[in-house]
Structures are given as C-alpha cells and as structure tokens.
Amino acid sequence: MSTKRKIHFEISERKIILRFFDVFFVLLGLYFIGAIFNQEYLTVAVSTPFWTIVLVVYLVFFATIFEMYNLQVASNQFLVLKNTILTVSTTVFVYLFTPFFSPELPSNRLQVVLFFLVVFMTLFSWRMFYVLFLASNRFVQKAILICDKEQVQELILGLENIDPHYEIVGFVNTDVAEDAVLDYHYVKLIKRDDLFSFVKENGISEIVIASQKTEGITPELYQQLLHLLESGNIIREYTQVYESKTQRIPVQYMSRDFYRFFPFSRSNQNKLYLLVVRVFEITISLLGLAVGLLLLPLILVGNAIGNKGRLFYSQQRVGKDGAIFKILKFRTMVKNAESDGAVFTATNDSRVTVFGKFLRKTRMDEFPQFINILKGDMAVIGPRPERPFFVKEIAEIMPFYETRHIIKPGLTGWAQVNYSYGETIDDSLIKLQYDLYYIKHRSIYLDLNIAFKTITTVLFYRGQ
C-alpha cells in the first residue's frame, strides 16, 4: 500500500513563499485596519498603486538586507523577532521620510504609530506561523541514496546538514557484495530488488544517484529505476542535488571530465552584461573612494593610535588569466607580520592590530581596492584574489582551483558572503566550490544577491 507523500517546499520555493506572503499580509493588514478604524493614511498607502509599489519595494529590499529570507534565520523564533523589528523599523522610517515616494504625513501622528504597529504585527504573526508550521518537520522531504558503501556517511551528512528538512531514509549499495553491508545508523539498507516497493510504501520524494561505478547499476536496478521514473518519481544525480541545495559546485565528487558537467555562464562572454557591469564598477568605485576620503581623517587617527605605522599596504595577488597585480589595502597587521613565511590569516589572529580588527570588521580596510577596480585589475564582484604562493600550493592539491582565474577577482564575492574567512586548505576547497558556482551561474540576479549580502555583512559587523 502506498503512503501519501508529505508536503515539501524546495529552498527556492520557500523563499518565494516568504516574499509573497510578507507583502500579502502587510498590505492586507494595512487595508483592513485602515478601513475598520477609518485611518486614511493606512488605506491610501495600499490603495494608490505608486505608493503601494514603493512600500513593497522598501519592504522586500530591507527584509533582504536584514536576512529575512535566510532560511536558517526564518526558522529561528528569536532571530525572526529581532530581524522583523529591524526590517519594519527601517522600512517604515524610510517610507515616512521620502515624501515624493510616499503619502504626505498625516496631521494625526497616532496614524504613524498605528502604521508601524500594523506592519510589525502582520509581518511578525505571519513569520511565527511559518516557524511553527511551514518550517516544521511535517514538511520533510524523504529521499533514497544510491551509492557505494564507503560514500554513505559523507554523502548523507553533506545533504542533511544543508537542509534539515531533507531526509535520507535509505540507501541502495552499488558495491558488488551488497549483502556484507549493514544499515548506516538510522538509514536503512535497501536491497536492490526491493527498491520499487520501498519507494511506494514509504512516500519517497526522490531517488538520488551518487554511485561512480557504472557496474553497480545492474540491469535489475536499472529496470526498477525506469519503472519509478515512469511512475512519476524524481530521479536526480547527486551533484545536481548538492549544487541546488548548497549553491556550491561539488568538485570533490567529480573526476577529470569536470567540464562536461560545468558549462560556464554565458554572462562571462556577454558584451552587454560586461559593459553594464563595468559602468556599475566605475560608479561604485568613485562613490567608494569619495566615502573613503570622507572617512580618511578618522582612519588616519585610528592608524596613528592603533597601528603605529604606515597606513597603506600592498601585496601581490593573482588576477584574471593568472596575471599578477598589486592589491592595495589599509594596513591591519603589525610590522613584519610574515617574518616566518606566508601563512593563512586565522580567526583572532594575534598579528592583527586593535584598529586593524575594526577596519576588517567594517570592511573599511578594502577601500583602497577601488583603485584596483578603476585600473581594471579587479571587479566589484568575483572570487577574492589569492596570493601566488597559496595559489601554487592549493592548485597542487585541488583540481580546478585555477579555474577561478577565468574572470577578474572581486572586492566581494559569493564565497565571501556565504563562508567565513579561509584558514586552511579545507576552507579553500569550500570557498572554491562557491567561486565556481558564481562562475557557472553569473548573472545580474546573482550579482545583486551578493551585493545585498555584502551590505548585510557590513551592517552586522561580520567582516574578517
């Protein structure tokens, strides 16, 4: 007897749901409260198309900045409360004080307070509903893994650590001696001949194939997979699932025929996209340098007190096509920080000065790199440039590492906004996966996503 599948939303679908209902409930709340209590400011804000669109844009923009669409944040009650307060406060403040883009302030100031309370309560109530119901385990997606026995633990943890609502309930061993394998903890070993019946009886959503041994996919197993496919079951390759869940390229599971599975984004060669990006880079760089000049007196004083040495620092880095260039930064470390040789910067590195920590946390140490961007050595968004010494060392261990150099390195990037500072070779592997994902999926949308997350990094003081 088949078991009804549980409702499950993919990561992208959950984010769409959050955005849609954020807007829906806020507008609905403003309209009904305004109509019931005859509060003109509330009803006008949602009945005039232009003002409504402005409110929606502000709400979604600031919700993105304050991580309301980060699914880990969206599933945590405390973080939901904190980030809802930040989002609503900023949205209402900006909306109220941009007169051309929003209704004229009411003479009765209590309507302003009511406006804030309605937006906050509707948004917070909906988000608590999401935490208690939509983010609960009743929406778990069940999957089966087809792989070699030595891969089981690594592959299962690799998926479940990413999405806690994605559950591997069983695996099919593709080694020849399948009878010699026991269950892996809570994951049941499924006999090849029992695959079809197990899927139907347990409400399995998808089958994930991770085996790299073609001989393990026996004719009998292949026939069962065909029947499952014909029955409407989803069958996907592990690297596809991993990439969609993590937004990283799983290079550790790919062999030397990597380029068969890695079509580069057309944006890397799209002249119009590159022109738009270059204009954007020049604009941002000029603005960044202007802000840097305004902050320069503060930086000079801080450097004199906290760094006690020269302000600027340059270092060789590897750029596009492997070209070497000198990157510019404000100095954040003590003099002769690498007297014993080049090493990765570590968390709480003793070589970083007191003022240097402040510069790194706020990302102010990177203001001089806008000069590198204007010169064309760097882009605003791209893989962070690494030093030649480390590039050589890492490339000997990691296949595809130098693939990062097919585009310009960036001031910020997909790896920087998704992962902490790299301290080890293993960290470099994870950051490489993010960098390759960016190169593969490069687009205006992904660039904007990175820009929003970079703003969040600065606001929450997460620079390193």
Tens digits of residue pLDDT in 234-284: 999 888 888 888 888 887 776 555 555 566 788 888 999 999 999 999 999
Instruction: Go through the chain and tell me how many residues it has.
Output: 464
CA-based radius of gyration for the chain: 26
Give residue 262's pLDDT.
63
Dist. CA 38–CA 106, nearest whole Å: 13
Give residue 1's pLDDT.
44
Tens digits of residue pLDDT in 330-345: 998 887 766 666 666 7
Give residue 119's pLDDT.
97
Tens digits of residue pLDDT in 18-28: 999 999 999 99
Mind spelling out the 3-state secondary structure of the chain? CCCCCCCCCCHHHHHHHHHHHHHHHHHHHHHHHHHHCCCHHHHHHHHCHHHHHHHHHHHHHHHHHCCCCCHHHHCCHHHHHHHHHHHHHHHHHHHHCCHHHCCCCCCCCHHHHHHHHHHHHHHHHHHHHHHHHHCCHHHCEEEEEEECHHHHHHHHHHHHCCCCCEEEEEEEECCCCHHHCCCECCEEECCHHHHHHHHHHCCCCEEEECCCCHHHCCHHHHHHHHHHHHCCCEEEEHHHHHHHHHCCCCHHHCCCCHHHCCCCCHHHCCHHHHHHHHHHHHHHHHHHHHHHHHHHHHHHHHHHHHHCCCCEEEEEEECHHHCEEEEEEECCECCCCCCCCCCCCCCCCCCECHHHHHHHHCCHHHCCHHHHHHHCCCEEECCCCCCHHHHHHHHHHCCCHHHHHHCCCEEECHHHHHCCCCCCHHHHHHHHHHHHHHHHHCCHHHHHHHHHHHHHHHHCCCCC
Say whether both 160 and 234 belong to one domain. Answer: yes
Say whether both 119 and 145 belong to one domain. Answer: no
Instruction: With respect to residue 70, please indicate whether it lies within any of the assigned structural domains.
Output: yes
Of 134, 153, 181, which residue is a domain's last? Answer: 134
Give the lowest-confidence range in 58-67, 192-201, 220-229, 250-259. Answer: 250-259
For residues 206 and 141, the answer to whether their CB atoms sit within 8 Å is yes
Tens digits of residue pLDDT in 401-410: 888 999 999 9
C-beta atoms surrounding 247 within 10 Å = 18
Tens digits of residue pLDDT in 46-70: 999 999 999 999 999 999 999 999 8
CATH number of the domain within which 198 lies: 3.40.50.1380
Say whether both 84 and 148 belong to one domain. Answer: no
Tens digits of residue pLDDT in 143-158: 999 988 777 888 887 7
Mean predicted lDDT score pLDDT of the chain:
86
Split into its structural domains, the chain has a count of 3
Q: What percent of the chain has pLDDT over 90?
A: 48
Give the lowest-confidence range in 34-38, 46-50, 79-83, 161-165. Answer: 161-165
Instruction: With respect to residue 464, please indicate whether it lies within any of the assigned structural domains.
Output: no
Instruction: With respect to residue 283, please indicate whether it lies within any of the assigned structural domains.
Output: yes
Say whether both 188 and 126 belong to one domain. Answer: no
Give residue 427's pLDDT.
84
Instruction: With respect to residue 260, please indicate whether it lies within any of the assigned structural domains.
Output: no
Q: What percent of the chain has pLDDT over 70?
A: 87
Give residue 444's pLDDT.
92
Say whether both 237 and 145 belong to one domain. Answer: yes
Say whether both 280 and 427 belong to one domain. Answer: yes
Q: Which of 463, 9, 340, 397 has its CA nearest to residue 205?
A: 9
Say whether both 366 and 433 belong to one domain. Answer: yes
Rounded average pLDDT over 354-380: 93
Say whether both 413 and 345 belong to one domain. Answer: yes
In this structure, are strands 410-412 and 379-381 parallel, antiparallel, or unpaired? Answer: parallel
Dist. CA 361–CA 457, nearest whole Å: 9
Instruction: With respect to residue 251, please indicate whether it lies within any of the assigned structural domains.
Output: no
Of 134, 161, 179, which residue is a domain's last? Answer: 134
Give residue 291's pLDDT.
94
Rounded average pLDDT over 377-403: 90
Say whether both 32 and 124 belong to one domain. Answer: yes
Say whether both 202 and 122 belong to one domain. Answer: no
Give residue 340's pLDDT.
62
Say whether both 209 and 177 belong to one domain. Answer: yes
With 70 as the cut, is the pLDDT of residue 421 above it? no
Give the lowest-confidence range in 206-220, 292-306, 433-447. Answer: 206-220
Instruction: With respect to residue 439, please indicate whether it lies within any of the assigned structural domains.
Output: yes
With 90 as the cut, is the pLDDT of residue 212 above it? no
Give residue 114's pLDDT.
96
Instruction: With respect to residue 4, please indicate whether it lies within any of the assigned structural domains.
Output: no
With 70 as the cut, is the pLDDT of residue 166 above it? yes
Of 246, 280, 299, which residue is a domain's last? Answer: 246
Domain extent at residue 86: 11-134
Tens digits of residue pLDDT in 104-130: 888 888 999 999 999 999 999 999 999
Distances (CA, A) of 242 to 71, 206, 209: 17, 13, 11
Instruction: With respect to residue 174, please indicate whether it lies within any of the assigned structural domains.
Output: yes
Say whether both 108 and 207 belong to one domain. Answer: no
